[in-house]
Structure 1
Amino acid sequence: MDPKEKFYRHFRDSVEGLQDQIGQLTHMSGIGGERQEATDHILAGISKLQNEVADAAEFTPAYDRRQYSEAIKSVQDKLNETLAKVAPKSRFQFRRTGTDHVDMGAPENDPRLNPGSLSRRPHNPHDAPGATRDISGEAEDIVGDLPSKQKDYNQELAKPDLSSIRKPSFSAAQSIGISDQTGLHIILPSSAARATSSGSLRDLKNCVIDLSIPTAQGAPFPGLMLKNVDRCLIVTGRVSGPVHINDVSNSTLVVIARQVRIHNCKNVDIYLHCASHPIIEDCSGMRFAPLPSCYLTEADESTENQWDQVDDFKWLKTTPSPNWTTLSEAQRLDDEVWTKVVPGKPGCSVEQILNKVGIPPK
């Protein structure tokens, strides 16, 4: 299918879904946070759609982007009107300027490249197309230790946010790096497929992180490091090279990789598709299962899965290692958990998702 047509259909379906969700707000109770959770979910959906329009600028003409912009404004207006009816003093309002049209495909209006744009701050002439811009060092858009002029996704994630689900774009990043986060639900959108260097997930606690969308149809990540992770659910997506898993505890992982090396981990369930023998060292309480079918692609199915051929390098006896075992079919999570619970929904907290996948309460 032509990319323009494919995106048009996706955009149309997304707008219809958001409009349906907005229509349901009037039937939700304002007590107990039900309406608040639903509103947060809608706001996250609008933000995601804005980001996707910006990402699609490379193959959509300006006229189409104008139509998409107007459609998003219409959704925003409908949300504002609905909230005004059910909660007149609601703080969830999209501010407008006198500008009739905002081209979200233009770099100066991309909310990830220029946080606070899209009519949320005064226009800066230095941000206009053709204006001189310092791009030194932008090739390394890696999260963590970044120059001050570059986007720090970890800093962005640490800020208070209306949505319970964070969807950082990483559209300009060469690698994925998320660190020093607690209690977040993070889902990478398809724009993160542009990352072509090995990434890392470090110092995470009580988080749900899903990296699978960028690699479901696009190229796999070249490599990935997990380090210092506790009570997390992590879906790594497809990785063409090695995945190094160090100092992970009380967690559930979904991993698709050519090689997997696991060091100093305990009480971890790993749903795995691996082209070679997984290797563990200094580990205990490791439980392995095959990859859930909902994450399998044709490329994965054509490769032998050696998920249960685990080598324990610290167990030299001829008897089976006591440090790992396999999950029986009855113990494995079913596809409904992966497809309906893990992606999140209004009213479902990170803690509830962790409990659903078998991670005990803290």
Structure 2
Amino acid sequence: RINMDATLETSEETGFYDRNAAAKLHERIEKRQQVLAEDVERRKEARQSQSVAEEKSEYFVSSFNAERAGIQELLSGCSGADRPTVTQKLEEATAKMTQLQKFLNDSMIFLSQYQIRVAQGALQKLQASLNETREEALPKKKFAFRSRTKAAENVSDSPPPPSSETVSSGVTKVDEATISAQTGFSNISNESLTMTSEEIQSRDVLLTHLTNCKVRLYGSPSTLHLKHITACEVLCGPVATSVFVDHCSNSVLGLACQQLRTHNTTDTQVYLHVTSRAIIEDCRGVSFAPFCWSYPTLDQDFAASGLDQDRNNWSQVDDFNWLAAGTPSPNWTVIPEADRKTAWDP
């Protein structure tokens, strides 16, 4: 307890207590008590906030695992079933996968980085299992991409099947991992390539083995795959689900999507709009900035894709090769504002 009488100042001339000193002392005591009370309240709110976050996290984990188990059960039920039953189960599993991805996206605000990585890894394995089940139960006829010399010419939907890896007509067989893609460009150099909304809307698009090309994809595809892209500039309208980039180098990409997965990519700029978190693996020299490409029907394509135009996590990047907590990954950077590209087409 502070001895107020002992601390009051006495005037040497009058011998009376200094009333101003007493008032100042009272003020200091009241301020100190207020600070202590505010500190107690902050600690209380922090404990409550932590408790709520833990409860939300526990709910997410249990709900996520239950939904994942339900999808796995649907896929298991495809084994030995007739075609109509398989089709129904796969459609249901696909819808549940979309809901589960949205559940993860909406929960990221209170999940730890470790929990996000675990959930994203589980979704990736589940998607691979779904694709494998679909291929086994409902196999599609293989097709090939044909090289094009005209900019706006897209891949034929039903080309003749190739007899070998490369046939005399110039048709190149696409690897097994990407035969589900339905349209795109392949094996082209030094060209300007364009596809319209009618050509790519709600379809899977594959760009592979392109060198020094300028690509413009107007519309909202379902997915986008980029493989073996060198010294290219690729701009694409809003992708409803995921963009997969593999073996890309010295390129500039403009992408809007729900999820971005980038592998084996070097010295590439990505102008990105992503509603979850971008993922890189086995990459170096990758840099990011906000998506800034625009064309007349962009808003309509965002609406068609279902992406939230006001939610962009372009700078939230998870590097699966860099798990050191609290230390930024050296494999990616943010493009300085002064160095960002703003004009794309004349």
TM-score, structure 1 as length reference? 0.45
Task: Point out the structure with the larger helix share.
Answer: 2
